[in-house]
Amino acid sequence: MSQSRRRVARVGAVGVFVAASIALAAAPAAAHVGVTPSVTTANAYTVLTFGVPHGCDASATTKVSIKMPDQIVSVTPTVNPNWTVEKVTTALTPPVTDSHGNEITQRVSEVVYTAKTPLPSDLRDSFELSLKLPDAAGETLVFPTVQTCEQGEAAWVEVAAEGQDADALDYPAPKFTLTAPAENADGAVQPAAQQVSQNSDESGSGGTGVVGWIALVLGALGLVSGGLALARTRKAA
């Protein structure tokens, strides 16, 4: 191989290597069961998407149990045709009154999805829950989630203690922080329509985000650079 062609090969290889390195760096973020809220504004309605990106090692997933924070009263799960869904309720003591004046004596404490056919370990799925967020801006909501598999389970229930690095947790619980409503210039409160993903993957997006796009762009630039260098070499010849 001539020196010019070796230079072309090196240019293309560098672009591919950089893209692969960035993609691998993003992979751990997609490994956890996470939650993505459509809205994080306190006292607003939201849809939470819980992503299950893999099984328990090489074992297929058979059930996913999602516990609700104590502040959540009512939950409406979205139907997933591959799973049956059950709402587990707990008595409220004392009862609470909803916005329509109705007395609520029970709250949804857990939502359980059971697979009709086990989800293979190399495939992902997601679950959507519609609910109203508590009026507590700045508070972090935690959703301990247990993933049961044909062999073993993964308990995504760990919460970092004060001063502990959350990234050091092996099985962090899905969570996100409530935000305050935005204010207009005149001081009037305006509901925010903010989408935030924490511990996700993903939430559930399969790990494709800003970092993934950067990797693709860098890879493309490497290929373009290699092509231009090859064209110049042929023209010089």
Task: For residues 113-137, give the mean pLDDT.
Answer: 97
Residues 71-88: what's their mean pLDDT?
97
Please report, rounded to a whole number, the percentage of residues in the chain having pLDDT higher than 90. Answer: 57
How does pLDDT run across 186-200, given as a tens digit for each residue?
555 554 444 444 444
Residue 201 pLDDT exceeds 50: no
Q: Alpha-carbon dihedral of residues 31, 35, 36, 37, nearest 10 degrees?
A: -170
Measure Cα distances from 189 to 99, 192, 212, 223 in Å: 20, 9, 36, 50
Greater pLDDT, 4 or 99: 99
Specify whether the CB–CB gap between 143 and 65 falls below 8 A.
no
Where b means 16+ CB within 10 Å and e means fewer, 61-85 reads bbbbbbbbbeebbebebeeeeebee
Q: Which two tokens stand for residue 16?
A: 């591919």
Q: Tokens for 21, please give them.
A: 């390195």
For residue 211, the model assigns a pLDDT of 45
Residue 23 φ/ψ, nearest 5 degrees: -65, -40
Where are any strands of DSSP class E within 68-152? 75-77, 83-97, 103-119, 125-132, 140-142, 145-149
Q: Are 30 and 177 in contact (CB under 8 A)?
A: no
Q: How confident is the model at residue 31 (pLDDT cuts 50, 70, 90)?
A: confident
Q: Which residue has the higher pLDDT, 31 or 228?
A: 31
CA–CA–CA angle 37, 40, 42 (5° rounding): 140
Task: Answer yes or no: are the C-beta atoms of 216 and 48 closer than 8 Å.
Answer: no
Please give the average per-residue pLDDT across 18-40, as a whole number: 63
- Which pTM was predicted? 0.68
Q: Which two tokens stand for residue 17?
A: 């290597």
End-to-end CA separation in angstroms for the chain: 14
| Phi, psi values for residue 167, rounded to 5° | -70, -15
